[in-house]
Copies of this chain bind each other. A is one copy, B any other.
Amino acid sequence: MKDLKSLIRAVPNFPKEGIKFFDITTLLKDGDGFRQACDQMWEPFANAGVQKIAGIESRGFIFGAAMAYTQNLPFVLFRKPGKLPAETESESYALEYGEDQIEMHVDAVSPGERILIVDDLLATGGTAAAACNLIEKLGGEVAGISMLVELTFLPGRQKLEGRNLNFLFEFASESMDSDD
A-to-B contact residues, CB < 8 Å: 9, 11, 14-15, 21, 23, 25, 28-32, 34-35, 38, 52, 55, 57-59, 61-63, 65-66, 68-70, 72-77, 82, 84-86, 105, 108
Chain B residues, Cβ within 8 Å of A28: 65, 68, 74-77
26 pairs of residues in contact across A and B, judged by CB atoms under 8 Å: A9-B86, A15-B82, A23-B85, A23-B86, A25-B108, A28-B68, A28-B75, A29-B74, A29-B75, A30-B74, A31-B72, A31-B73, A31-B74, A32-B72, A34-B65, A34-B68, A34-B74, A34-B75, A35-B69, A35-B72, A55-B62, A57-B58, A62-B65, A62-B75, A66-B66, A66-B68
Chain B residues, Cβ within 8 Å of A82: 15
Does A25 lie within 8 Å of B65, measured CB to CB?
A: no
Chain B residues, Cβ within 8 Å of A9: 86
Measured in the bound complex, the distance between the Cα atoms of B77 and A14 in whole Å is: 18
Q: Copy number of this protein in the oligomer?
A: 2
Chain B residues, Cβ within 8 Å of A29: 52, 74-76, 108
> Knowing A31-B68, A34-B69, A62-B61 touch, does A11 contact B86 (C-beta < 8 A)?
yes
Residue from B61, B74, B75, B105 within 8 A of A58 (CB atoms):
B61
Smallest CB–CB gap between A20 and chain B, Å?
10
Most buried by B among A59, A69, A82: A69
Residue from B35, B65, B69, B74 within 8 A of A61 (CB atoms):
B65
